[in-house]
Amino acid sequence: MSKRSIIQLSEFDITQKIIEALSNVCTRSVLFSVKNESKDVTKIANELKISISTVYKTLSNLEDLALAEIERFIISPEGKKIKLYRSRIGKVEIILENLEPTLMLYPNESKN
């Protein structure tokens, strides 16, 4: 399966899924947590005080919607490969007009 681009995200078939995902406070919190700095699941869970399994599930959904990605891997002192996640979007606008939502996604331009 190929990675979706930001442009493809604005297609109608996925607009409702993205709006629904972003309406969830946990999803927004995880996404905002990795907007300016890439982080691993444990760091996100500790910062937001939510379970690691919730963070994994949320990040998986954000990846499926192409809103977050694995930016890079690091190796822990124990030799484990750890994923660092990053938001692909920096700004979202949802416009409700004529009973149809318009979703505008802007790329995340912030650097570590």
CA 51/CA 3 separation, integer angstroms:
27
Give, for all 112 residues of the chain, the pLDDT tens digit: 455 555 554 455 788 889 889 999 999 999 999 999 999 999 999 999 999 999 999 999 999 999 999 999 999 899 999 999 999 999 999 888 877 788 899 999 876 5
CA 112/CA 108 separation, integer angstroms:
11
In a domain, 1, yes or no: no
The Cα-based distances of 26 to 21, 68, 97, 110 in angstroms read 9, 14, 27, 22
State pLDDT tens for residues 59-76: 999 999 999 999 999 998
Q: The CATH number of the domain where 62 resides is what?
A: 1.10.10.10
In a domain, 112, yes or no: no
The Cα-based distances of 49 to 23, 26, 30, 72 in angstroms read 19, 11, 11, 24
In a domain, 38, yes or no: yes
In a domain, 22, yes or no: yes
In a domain, 28, yes or no: yes
Write out the residue range of the structural domain in which residue 46 sits.
6-107
How many structural domains are present in the chain?
1
